[in-house]
Structures are given as C-alpha cells and as structure tokens.
Amino acid sequence: MTNKEYADFLLPNVKHTWEEYEAMYPERNLPEGAIVTRYAPSPTGLPHMGNLFQNFMSMVFANQTNGVFFLRIEDTDTSRTVENGIEKILDAIRPFGINFTEGAISETEYKGEYGPYIQTQREDIYKAYAKKLIEEEKAYASFLSKEELEEIRLKQSANKERLGIYGRYAKDRNLSKEETIERINNGESYIIRIKSPGSFFNKVRFNDLIKGTIEMPENDIDEVIIKSDGLPTYHFAHVIDDHLMKTTHVIRGDEWVSSVPKHLQLFEMLGFEPVKYAHLAPLTKNDNGTVRKLSKRLDPEATLAFYPENGIPTEAIMLYLATITNSNFEGWLDQNPNGKISDFKFDFKKCSSSAGTLYDLPKLYNISKNYISRLTKDEVYDAALDYAKNYDEELKDILEKYPDYSKEIFNIEREQKKPRKDYEKYSDVKGQIWYMYDELFEKYRDDAGYDFGSITDKDEIRNIINTYIDKYYNDNDDKETWFSNIQKLCDELGYASNMKDYKENPDNYKGNVADVSTVIRVSLTTRSMTPDLYELLKLIGKEKIKERFNLI
Ligand code: GLU
C-alpha cells in the first residue's frame, strides 16, 4: 500500500487535496507591510474586556497598514460550544465599533474570500493537510484509549515527568501500516498525532513582538492534530487556518506563549511560512493596593455589557484602549486634543511587555468626562437619548418630550473653551438634570431632600427667596444685572454682597452672598451644586421658579 493509499485509508472521503486548497487560497493583494490579523474566539462564553483590548489593538495595527482584520470562530471543541455562541460574541462586541474587514457574520454567513470562517465548516481542509503529513510519514494513527492516557498521566505525575505523549510514551508511533490497518479493521478507534521531530534538549528561539526574544525547549510531544470526532485540535487548526487565510500577525492572550514551540513546529512540518506572534498579558486591576487580574466575577468593568449599560461612550473606551495599547498615546493626545486614533502611529515596541496591563476604570471615566464635555449639545442629546432608549425609559420619555429644552440644559457651560465636565457616562445624566423637568422634580424632590447650607431658619429662607423673586429676579436680565440684583438682595437683607467685605468683618453680617445664592439654588433644585445658577433660573423661568419657591 502506498503512503497515499494509506492516508486515504486513515482519513477517507476527503474531498480535496491540500494542493487544491493551496490554490483556493491565493496570496492576498495588499500593500507592502500590510498586517493581516484576526480575532479567533471560541463560542464558549461571552468575550470580556481583555478580548476587546485585543480586538482594538488588532484593528488599529491592521488599519494603519491598510491590512485586514478578520473574525474566525474556533468551535472545534464542540463539547464547550454554548448555544447561540456565535451570535453572543457578535452581539457583545457590536456596540464597540470594532470593524472586521471580513469573517463570520452569523452562524451561516460570512464575508470575504478566505472562508468559511467557522472552523467546524472547514473539516475537509484540516483532513487534507493531515493526509499530507501522513503521506510524508510525519503523522500517524494513535490508539491510546482514555484509560491508557490517564494511566500515563498518573505515572508521569508520580515520576515528576513532563506530561504528554512523547518518547517512550508515544507507543503507536512506530506501528506498521499493516498493524494499524488491522486494528482499525477490528473496530478500534483512533486519532491522528504528529510524529514530533523535536527534542526537549534543543532550544527554539522566537521573537515575540511584544515580549521580545523568547527561548524554550523544542516541542517533542506527539500532539493530536485530528481528534476522534474528525475535527482538528486548536493547534492544528490555528496553523492551517492562519496559513490559508494569509495571517501575518497573531495577536492573542499570553496563555498561548507556551504553545508557540508546537505551533512553530507545525508550520515547519507543513512547509508553511510561520506567522509573527504578539502575546498580550492579561488586564490587571489595582484592588486597594494589590494588583491582580481583572476578573469577570469580581469586577463589573471586566464584562462588556457594563459599558452600554452605563452609557459609556465607545469613543472614550477606544481612546482609553489606545492609551493602554501604546504608552506614548496619552502624551500625543495631550498635544493633539482633537487628534483621531487613526492619526496616531501605533508600534508593537511601545506595548507593555510587563506581566499585566493595568486597567484603570477611573482613568477611563476621566477620558470619558473630557470627551463628553467636548461634544455639542445636539451630540450629547442624541447620545443620551440613545442610551435612554435601551436603559432608562423615564429619561427617554422626558428627552423626547422636551427636545429643545433638553438641548438648552445640555448647552449650559458647553461649546466653550473650558466646558463643564458633568458627565462621565450617560447614566449620570438623569441624576444631574432631573430637577430641570417639572415631572421629575415633583417625583424626586422629597427623596432628594433640601439642604440649605449655613442658613437654616425656615422663615429666613422664605424671606430670602420671596424677596428675591418679587423684587430682584427678571427673566430678561443679562448676567451682570442678574448678579448685581443678587447683591442688592444681600444688601437689603443684611448679607455681605461681596466676599472681601465679609471676610474683613464677618460679625457685621448675617452671612454672605454665597449663602444667599445657595438658598436660591437649593430652593430651585434641591441641590447645592449645580451648573450655572443664572442659566438654570432663565431656563426654568419666573413663573415656575415661583411655584418651586412656594413649596418651601
Ligand atoms: N480560540 C482561541 C481562544 O479563544 C484563540 C487563540 C488565538 O487567537 O489563536 O483562546
């Protein structure tokens, strides 16, 4: 029996040869230096912030070289695949503006010339290449049963040996074709393993684009390439797919670093050009002084749903991810406050090569706050409404009922050189402006409670606000007149109308202009901290101000 016939016997009914597959996946026509990279999730659960970070990085490197960033679903471990796993992945990352140039777009569809992009739909391809290895006597059928494997594992553990099928444990490695055929004909089940050409005593060196030069022992394990269900293992599928899909760079979590010797060996055995690797350390968090891994279980910010649920703008998240991708991004952004991420040149050398990348939510909020403060009133209105449509019906109703009025509220201290920074996320909006709407004011004012500050006597408070509204407040006053009226009110009632006088002779006064303003502000809003009082009063208008003052 020729090797070719033998390969056909071990893996029958394979539709195409590996040569045919080579022809079906031609080189890409891309500019020099273009990076082709991918996100290759397994549909075993929801992607998390670490995955988004990886996606962001992959996307910017592909974009800045006019390359390709594609999505491939790695679902060959069917026992771990969850229901609607692909849709769940797509839904979770959709809100973040990650653009895949090509790849899976649902369980059944994909775009691009290098598909299918779902590994279970590529079974024939992997087998074609496994047959190539069998023909070249670089792979073999292995009959080790579950029980035998377990026995080997226990023995290796007891002897403190490396785990795996290598050397004397690779018992079927030298079975003859005849013996193998006979056992198969007797109904024994088998899988395909490589005949690893490596030695544990040799070293393999490779350059990780982030971590630098890494040296490890060669792989000498007869890794499984085709499992008993006919599907490939991760290692084999990675090498075949990234070869055929013309991936240039694999950016992935650093839990895979230890597998690189296996992967480089497979590339070599198959006669493929290896990819370049960039392994990312996990995101970490400073938890009261202890730096630990960001955890989906402990940290809400580790899950992707957290961001849309809180209305954190995607643009701010992207800016933050850019700052943790390259340490010099932040300085660049300070120099170019209106700079776009796409204007910055990212460099693998500037990626953090330490054991973890610190993920700092307060810093993200700070970026977000600055970002929102620079938006126009219309942009904030639209974004807040978008958020509210999904997560806050009451806010949605009120924004839709009063669009122009709402925009005027958002416009307070906005669209100016130093805009006010009220919101770090759209879920802050209602809590900051509810008192501007009568419906919400009535509903929430009691719970909010009034804290008038240093002036506590109710009659005095009433006296201040009534005198103010009757004698000193006009909707049409400009800001200067408005303020001089507040000062007149102070003079009339025995409060210092400027702070300097007050500081010099506090005993001559009942209080000062700040105390009086607080009484007006709190009576109007319940809040002692608000945006510009003059603007609030004007927007609410004299009639309604009166009504609110009458409630005190
Ligand atoms: N499916 C692998 C995982 O989810 C992908 C690793 C890779 O990017 O190659 O970890």
| 422 and 518 inside one domain | no
CB 275 within 8 A of CB 249: yes
Write the burial class of residue 527 (CB in 10 Å: 0-12 exposed, 13-18 middle, 19+ buried).
middle
CB 71 within 8 A of CB 38: yes
Cα(41) to centroid(ligand 1), Å: 5
> How does residue 337 score in pLDDT terms, banded at 50, 70 and 90?
confident
| 487 and 401 inside one domain | no
pLDDT of residue 67: 98
Cα(251) to centroid(ligand 1), Å: 9
| 182 and 205 inside one domain | yes
pLDDT of residue 211: 96
Number of domains in the chain: 3
**In this model, does residue 311 exceed pLDDT 90?**
yes
For the segment 530-544, the average pLDDT, to the nearest whole number, is 97
Using CA atoms, how far apart are residues 376 and 373, in angstroms rounded to an integer? 8
Which tens digits make up the pLDDT trace of 63-86? 999 999 999 999 999 999 999 999
For the segment 519-540, the average pLDDT, to the nearest whole number, is 97
Residue ending a domain, choose from 430, 447, 464? 447
| 406 and 515 inside one domain | no
Which tens digits make up the pLDDT trace of 383-417? 999 999 999 999 999 999 999 999 999 999 999 99
pTM of the complete model beyond 0.85: yes
Task: Tell which atom from ligand 1 comes closest to the C-alpha of 38.
Answer: 8
Residue 507 belongs to domain spanning: 449-549
pLDDT of residue 352: 87
| 406 and 438 inside one domain | yes
Does residue 406 lie in a domain region?
Answer: yes
Does residue 43 lie in a domain region?
Answer: no
State CA 254 to chain mean position distance. Answer: 17
Residue ending a domain, choose from 414, 447, 480? 447
| 428 and 469 inside one domain | no
Average per-residue pLDDT for the chain: 96
Cα(303) to centroid(ligand 1), Å: 18
Task: Tell which atom from ligand 1 comes closest to the C-alpha of 41.
Answer: 4
Cα(268) to centroid(ligand 1), Å: 20
> How does residue 549 score in pLDDT terms, banded at 50, 70 and 90?
very high
Using CA atoms, how far apart are residues 21 and 16, in angstroms rounded to an integer? 7
Residue ending a domain, choose from 228, 253, 280? 280
Using CA atoms, how far apart are residues 108 and 370, in angstroms rounded to an integer? 42
pLDDT above 70 coverage of the chain, percent: 100
Cα(238) to centroid(ligand 1), Å: 8
Cα(42) to centroid(ligand 1), Å: 7
Does residue 236 lie in a domain region?
Answer: yes
| 185 and 266 inside one domain | yes
Nearest CA to ligand 1 atom 3: 41
Task: Tell which atom from ligand 1 comes closest to the C-alpha of 255.
Answer: 10
Does residue 141 lie in a domain region?
Answer: yes
| Farthest-apart Cα atoms in the chain, separation | 113
Task: Tell which atom from ligand 1 comes closest to the C-alpha of 39.
Answer: 8
Which tens digits make up the pLDDT trace of 97-118? 899 999 999 888 999 999 999 9
Long-range CB contact pairs, 149-154, < 8 A, 24+: none
Nearest CA to ligand 1 atom 5: 40
Does residue 187 lie in a domain region?
Answer: yes
Pocket probe for ligand 1: among 72, 119, 242, 256, the residue whose CB has the most ligand atoms within 8 Å is: 256
| 152 and 228 inside one domain | yes
Q: Measuring CA to CA, which residue among 429, 454, 466, 432 is closest to residue 545?
A: 466
CB 133 within 8 A of CB 269: yes
Cα(371) to centroid(ligand 1), Å: 33
Planar angle of CA 348, 349, 350, nearest 5 degrees: 90
Does residue 541 lie in a domain region?
Answer: yes
Q: Which residues line ligand 1 (CB under 6 A)?
A: 40-42, 74, 238, 250, 252, 256
Pocket probe for ligand 1: among 252, 257, 276, 279, the residue whose CB has the most ligand atoms within 8 Å is: 252
Residues 6+ apart with CB under 8 A from 57: 251, 280, 321, 325, 346, 351
| 417 and 496 inside one domain | no
CB 279 within 8 A of CB 211: yes
For the segment 367-395, the average pLDDT, to the nearest whole number, is 97
Cα(440) to centroid(ligand 1), Å: 49
Which residues are 257's β-sheet partners?
none
Pocket probe for ligand 1: among 38, 118, 234, the residue whose CB has the most ligand atoms within 8 Å is: 234
| 437 and 461 inside one domain | no
Does residue 509 lie in a domain region?
Answer: yes
> How does residue 338 score in pLDDT terms, banded at 50, 70 and 90?
confident
| 276 and 215 inside one domain | yes
pLDDT of residue 388: 98
pLDDT above 90 coverage of the chain, percent: 97
Using CA atoms, how far apart are residues 15 and 21, in angstroms rounded to an integer? 10
Residue 463 is part of a domain; what is its CATH number?
1.10.10.350
| 264 and 136 inside one domain | yes
